[in-house]
Amino acid sequence: MLSKKELLNLQFIDARARVIDLAAFLDRLERHEGVGDIRLEYFAKALQVLQENRPDRAKAVLEVFSDMTPEISETAPFQGATGAPVS
């Protein structure tokens, strides 16, 4: 098993790049006019989960972006992750 330092040595640059990509995406959104939709609320909730000290952050973030309702909405083209544009 790797130590925390060894894991940081292996994956820090990749994780850092992903955080910077997300920050750049959010910056681009802020520069555009108009209003967003519920997907921005999902990002806000996911970012809150990332700041929590818990061992299941990946699962919790996935659940933020997942539709957990057992029945399919009549207006939904499919059931699954919330990433498709809202009409």
Cα separation, 25 vs 39, in Å, equals 13
Q: For residue 82, what pLDDT is reported?
A: 56
Rounded Cα distance, 39 and 48, in Å? 14
How much is the pLDDT for 77? Answer: 60
**Concatenated DSSP letters for 10-29?**
HHHHHHHHHHHHHHHHHHHH
Which residues in the chain show pLDDT less than 70? 73, 75-87
